[in-house]
Structures are given as structure tokens and as C-alpha cells.
Amino acid sequence: MAKDTPKDLKKDSAPKEKKDHATKEQHKAKNKEQAQKFQVAEIPKGPVAPLPKGYKVRLNEAYISTVRPALMKQFDLKSPMAAPKLTKIVINIGVSEAKENIQAIDLAKDDLAAIAGQAPQIRKAKKSISNFKLREGMPIAVRVTLHGARMYEFFDRFVSLSVPRMRDFQGFDLRLFDGRGNLNIGLKEHHIFPEVNMEKSPKARGMNITFVTTAADDKEGKALLELMGMPFKKPEAPKAPKA
């Protein structure tokens, strides 16, 4: 029997290569057609999705229309720029178990992102402490800082939805002010926020929320936050002397 020459082998293999190339092009064309049929709107890139155009924040509108004029009248201020206002809100969640289970930091990050509506930042240890089994650079907390519209939205949701879900709540203590008009609130459970999924994060986590204002002292800071809806403890009425 005559052996196949190299030329004959090339002739036999050529049609197969053309067929394979044609089938690949057909698959690509089909994929493009399917993608065009089921085309979805592009998701904006970045950790935070932009707010829709023309969106007005309810609490910001209330501050301009009612809160700021009331503060100017109460403290006898001549310029609206001199009235105290809320500048930012800082939320921190400590994750001590991240030293043993690194997945805990991811769960806390997801919870804080759902609560704040903004991607949080992972905070790492600045120094090593042997008594706490802590090494420098180890992730131990998550933090987020809110400004502008997202700050007012969080404040509104916190006062309207989360605070009423706190157990035996009787108002925030005035001693939580730092002397410069800023309020620091410590929470034992982050489950008071309705955005948290109880199935994914069954363990309650403590968190710290700082409301930073431009107030000169605690009196102005309390007046600002109280007019915006923050509930504070009412001073106890003096007891009548016994007869």
C-alpha cells in the first residue's frame, strides 16, 4: 500500500480547520445576539451608586426651611452661615473575632455597607499587643464616614426606624456629648437596623456612631440634633420636700 505523502495530509486537514473556525464564529455570533436580546442597564462603577438627578433629601430640606431659622432665632444669630449644622457621621464596628476567623471582617463589612449605603473601610491595628494576641497590620474593625445626602438619609432612618427598636429606650443621655457639640453613641446590637439580615449575621455586634457638628458647645449641638429629631432624656423634675 502507498503511504500518504505530507502534501496529502495537509489537504485532508485543511477542510477540518476551516470547519472548526466557522463553528467558532457561529458561536460568537449567537452569543452576541443573545446578549443584545437580554441587555441589562450598566451598573455604575465604584463602591457607591450615584443618587438620581433631582433627588431631594427630606431632612436636608427640613434643616434649611425650619431647623436653621429656629437656631438663628434661639441663639440670636444674624447670618445663616453661623448656624450650627451637621457635617459628617462616622460609624465604627469592632471585630475582635477577626483575629481567629478572618471571615468575620467580611460579614461586618457587608452589614455596615447595608446599614450606611456606602462601602466601608477596613481598619487595621497600628501596634502589636501581646496580651490581646494582636499584631500590627491585623484587620480588627470597619469604618465608614458619611457626608451630604447619605449623611442626612442615615440620620433620618436612624431616628425614625432604628431608635424605636431599641430595648427600654428612654432617650440619649446628654453626657454623650464631648464638650464641642459632637455626639458619640455606643450601641450594643446592630440588629436594631432593619437593613441587617438576621440569617447571615446572627451574632449581635456593638458599634459606635459619632455625629460631628459645627456647634461651638454642647448646648448648640443638643439644640441642633433635637430639632432634627434626635430624642434626648428629659431632665427629672425636682422632688417635692416631705411635709
Q: Where are the domains of the chain?
A: 84-227
pLDDT average, residue stretch 112-125: 87
Model pLDDT, residue 213? 95
Q: DSSP label at 198?
A: T
Mean pLDDT estimate for the chain:
80
Retrieve residue 81's grid coordinates: 452661615
Give pLDDT tens digits for 163-191. Answer: 999 888 888 999 999 989 999 999 988 88
Model confidence pTM above 0.95: no
Instruction: State which fold the 84-227 domain adopts.
Output: 50s Ribosomal Protein L5; Chain: A, (3.30.1440)
Separation between Cα atoms, residue 220 and residue 224, nearest integer Å: 6
Give pLDDT tens digits for 189-205. Answer: 888 998 888 888 888 88
In sequence order, the β-bridge partners of residue 213 are 86
Say yes or no to pLDDT of 21 above 80.
no
In sequence order, the β-bridge partners of residue 172 are 232
Retrieve residue 223's grid coordinates: 439644640
Residue 98 to residues 118, 123, 187, Cα–Cα distance (Å): 21, 12, 20
Q: 241: helix, coil or strand?
A: coil
- Can you state the percent helix, strand and coil of the chain, rounding each to 5? 45, 15, 40
Which range has the worst mean pLDDT, 94-98, 110-114, 170-174, 222-226?
94-98
Contacts of 192 (CB under 8 A, 6+ apart): 162, 163, 165, 166
Give pLDDT tens digits for 42-76. Answer: 434 444 566 677 777 889 999 999 999 999 999 99
